[in-house]
Structure 1
Amino acid sequence: MTKDVIALTERMPDTVSMLAGLLSGGPDLQVRTLGDGAVVQLCNAEGRPLVSIEAPMLLQVPGEAARLLGPDAEPASGTAWWIEARAATSVPQAEELAGAFAARLTMMLGGTIWPPDVPGTTDPAHPVDTSGITAVPAPAAAQPAVDMLTPRTAIVLQDRPVVPMTSWLSEALRAALESDRGLQIVTPGHCRISPALRSVLDAPTRWVVQDERCGYYDGTSGAVLRWEDGAFVPDRDESGETPVAESFADLRPTDERRLIVSFRTVHAPEADLVLGGALETVWRKLTGAPPAGWSTAEPVNVPWSRRQLTDLAYERAPRPTWTAVVGHPDRPAFATLRVIRTPKGVEEDVTLTLGYGPGEEVPLAELPALADELVTRYGLASLVCQLREAGRDLSVPPRLELPPVPVGFALGSEEVREVGRAHASRTPLREAPVRLGPASRPGYYYGLGDGEGPEGWEAMKTLMHYLRSGGEDFAGAAG
């Protein structure tokens, strides 16, 4: 499995401490940089990589270390410098070298190491013996996150409590797709993945889970997998069907819930446009506070700033901008926000998920007022609210969870115009819709139930069929 080591230091790494860490393998190792200095690699005499080290990242968002690595990793001050080292999986000494690098940093700067029992940390003052080390050549396209590359796929091995959408994985995914390959992330059965990583898992990208009983299975669908022609593919039984792994089918009831709010807003591309307002409004209404931080990868390390988010999207336009957004540790909340230019203007696609434990009330009564503000102030196109039985911590396990049940749906003013106002205001649902926004250009919110039974799906199906019969241009309004 992967040999990742993370140093969480109390003080900022400087030239002296980084040099001391890089000398943890003695003076005979070579040092080179990738990505304009974003990655430093320790290499053997032949120039083959042993350890790849990402540039230090100031973790300014409280709770991120605990969310991804466990409560013991959370720095006492709430902030820390996150320095991630990835050891070559084919070299036994590489993990010890990565551990010694992290130990030297924390010895000089204070802090902790994850995992705490990694080899190489007991005597950081003495260099690791790297004599005679051999290593495989660097991965194609110099991707330090890739453990195996085939003509069909890039394989990444991971073993963390929660596998996040790191900058390593983001770059590996980009390189794989550009080379017409899939990215397949292989983990043991005890690992979970973050909602950010789950949001990008779409063919040919796959989460592959090792399993004692069936070998391998897909962590999101449960399909049993086999290795064939350089990739993990669905296995077939004698009837041609793909079986579901028994480990995946282990459904575990829980009293915890997740509220999922997905919506799309459209703005005119004006010079003074500031993005993120709709997401912040929803976040405040449902949690009582704004988001805590945002970033283009995990861990989320930048305090929430609509201005900075807008500047980044402006710099990247017309390319889309994808970001992850997190809340404060006392109220689990996570969102993905995608900004894209379309013929209609500047669109923001948001999926916000909030976790609730036993006894915590899910604020379903707030949803109509929330939709009203989105229509009135932020150009709401459509909104879907769903409730599901799943863990409060929002991480995704490699096993079956009950699907979310729709509890509410909303259309913005422009979508109501396309459907027809009279048609949109009268539906076959038992509950009359709630008018949103100005009377001259209204939107509508449709209640679909309390999410505690399958009735929500039937109501959603009935509503979609009815609305689509009212306007030829409505086909994409619920996307």
Structure 2
Amino acid sequence: MTKDVIALTERMPDPLSVLAGLLAGGPDLRVETTGEGAVVQLCDDEGRPLVSVEVPLMLQVPGEAARLLGAGAEPSGDGPAWWVEARAAVGVPQAEQLAGAFAARLTMLLGGRVWPPDAPGTVGAACPVDVSGVTAVPVPAAAQPAVDMLTDKVAVVLQDRPVVPMTSWLTEALRAALESDRTLQIVTPPHCRLSLPTRMLLESTSSRWVVQDERCGYYDGLTGAVLSWQDDAFSPDRDENGETPVADAFEEVTPTGERQLIVSFRTLHRPTADLVLGGALEAAWQALTGAPPAGWGTSEPAGLAWSRRQLTDLAYERAPRSTWTVAVGTPDRPAVATLRVIRTTEGVEEDVTLTLGYGPGEEPALEALPGLADELVTRYGLKTMMCQLREARRDLSAPPRFEHPPLPYAFVLGPAEVREAGIDTARRTPLKGRPVQLGHSARPGFYYPVGDGETVESWTALGQLVRHLRGMPSA
């Protein structure tokens, strides 16, 4: 299904090595650029792209290639690797061979590995691929290099990877789709999973994950709804009662004992000249894993070593637009966070969702949550924080199967929100347990235990708390 080929090289691709790769189709193919020079395309005689190659991305973070491509994908050596992604035009067999030959040539010159290792064109890559007479499918004007089909309603992307990451390709495709009043639909076979950032962005928009299963056709990988192609988009199917059935494959779930701890919080800072962002995220990571984040980036793979200064510089350059980034941990303690920096009339907000994975027998770091809440209130301008637990994969990827929704464990209110609710109201709640006071006594915050994160009664307690803080009558 996918036509993606990735070269993971041990040395930095230089112009000569990239040129050697581009000559995999011989000297007669046209070379074009798009995306303000960030994407190089090998095109047919009419200028239509056969292969699109993105600018090399340096991976300074150990384990990123394995997290997204599977064990064995990492190049040998202790230094950084370079991730070079080539995407072939769908429906043109020679294009996939061309992409494979391009990647194989890079690794022949620079060392490293090609993913997938059996990609067409990787054998005999020294000889040019015969593309004489090959014609690519015309590309609609609104299409992006990652888009395989475009209609008036949707942009469709075909993928077949162990994990579908939120690459710069997909980020751009999602942005372009939303700006053109379309939705993004990612189509995969049933063995694929979504990375955490990809799942979160799809859930936060009207986009859809379409799973193609030989047994039951198409279904939504996040909801299980049976889908069919109708009116130029994948949409929920209806039975004779007008209801959408759930695919049998979606309900084939085997408990594994794996869990995830989800900590979502928002902080507010005054926009001072010496403001350095990322401190709250780093504090949360340190409290829950014993170490800071390993890396970050504006897409996946997150190839940059963690740096609050670089994060701040990027957000400053993009202001007043918001900045969305990903942070990742080390392979021994799976952790992924998304961070959005937003400039508001009140100041600079950081919206963070940090998720940590635990296997059977591993205990989530729940005892660290009150201390973390106190640090965020005292030092980082915490507004609110929600802590949740769920039964889900330790590696944090999302399979096309039913997963239990997260259950609340604790809720935190920062000083400004306490003042808005009223300190007496915030201190005296209908919950069984007393809240833990945080920060300075003159401007306190409160940590509210709302349950064990394992039973649905946690939602009842949270609902009672929220209604109380808002001054609403109990249900």
User: Structures share a fold, TM > 0.5?
Assistant: yes
* Residue ranges of structure 1 left out of the alignment (5+ in a row): 472-479
Relative to 1, partners in 2 of residues 1:342 and 1:5: Cα closer, same or farther, differing over 3 Å?
Answer: same
Tell me if 1:80 matches 2:55. no
* 1:390/1:402 contact within 8 Å kept: yes
Relative to 1, partners in 2 of residues 1:251 and 1:468: Cα closer, same or farther, differing over 3 Å?
Answer: farther
* Residue ranges of structure 2 left out of the alignment (5+ in a row): none
* 1:139/1:146 contact within 8 Å kept: no
Aligned-partner Cα distance in 1 for 2:276–2:206: 34
Partner of 1:239: 241
Cα displacement string for residues 336-371 of structure 1 (whole angstroms, at most 9, x for unaligned residues)? 001101122111110000011122121111111110
SS at match of 1:199: helix
Partner of 1:476: none
Partner of 1:423: 425
Shift of 1:143: 1.1
1:31 maps to amino acid: V
Aligned-partner Cα distance in 1 for 2:417–2:341: 20
2:18 maps to amino acid: M
Tell me if 1:149 matches 2:150. yes
Cα displacement string for residues 40-85 of structure 1 (whole angstroms, at most 9, x for unaligned residues)? 1111122221110001111111110000000110223352111100
Q: How does 1:107-126 map to 2 (within 5 A)?
A: 107-126=108-127
Shift of 1:121: 1.0
Cα displacement string for residues 383-410 of structure 1 (whole angstroms, at most 9, x for unaligned residues)? 0000111111000111101111111000
Choose which of 250, 265, 278 in structure 1 pairs with 2:252.
Answer: 250
Identify which range, 132-141 or 272-281, moves more after superposition: 132-141
Aligned-partner Cα distance in 1 for 2:30–2:401: 43
Shift of 1:252: 2.1
Partner of 1:287: 289
2:208 maps to amino acid: R
Q: TM-score, normalised by structure 1?
A: 0.96
1:110 maps to amino acid: G
SS at match of 1:134: coil
2:452 maps to amino acid: D
SS at match of 1:401: coil
Shift of 1:223: 1.0
Partner of 2:400: 398
Q: How does 1:64-75 map to 2 (within 5 A)?
A: 64-75=64-75
* 1:300/1:325 contact within 8 Å kept: yes
Aligned-partner Cα distance in 1 for 2:36–2:367: 51
1:157 maps to amino acid: L
* 2:388/2:410 contact within 8 Å kept: yes
* 1:139/1:147 contact within 8 Å kept: no
SS at match of 2:400: coil
Aligned-partner Cα distance in 2 for 1:299–1:360: 26
Q: TM-score, normalised by structure 2?
A: 0.97
Aligned-partner Cα distance in 2 for 1:204–1:262: 22
Partner of 2:162: 161
Aligned-partner Cα distance in 2 for 1:17–1:252: 47
2:322 maps to amino acid: P
Aligned-partner Cα distance in 2 for 1:155–1:354: 31
1:65 maps to amino acid: A
Tell me if 1:104 matches 2:87. no
Partner of 1:443: 445
Tell me if 1:28 matches 2:17. no
1:67 maps to amino acid: R
Shift of 1:153: 0.8
Shift of 1:142: 5.0
* 2:10/2:76 contact within 8 Å kept: no
Shift of 1:14: 1.3
Aligned-partner Cα distance in 2 for 1:377–1:192: 37
Q: How does 1:78-477 map to 2 (within 5 A)?
A: 79-141=80-142, 143-201=144-202, 202-469=204-471
Aligned residues between the structures: 471
Shift of 1:450: 2.2
* 1:313/1:320 contact within 8 Å kept: yes
Aligned-partner Cα distance in 1 for 2:317–2:223: 37
Aligned-partner Cα distance in 1 for 2:128–2:53: 17
SS at match of 2:429: coil
2:272 maps to amino acid: E
* RMSD, aligned α-carbons: 1.3
Cα displacement string for residues 177-220 of structure 1 (whole angstroms, at most 9, x for unaligned residues)? 11111111111111000011111114431111112233111111
Cα displacement string for residues 5-57 of structure 1 (whole angstroms, at most 9, x for unaligned residues)? 00001111112211111111111111111123211111112222111000111
Shift of 1:470: 6.7
* 1:423/1:470 contact within 8 Å kept: no
Aligned-partner Cα distance in 2 for 1:331–1:106: 30
* 1:146/1:155 contact within 8 Å kept: yes
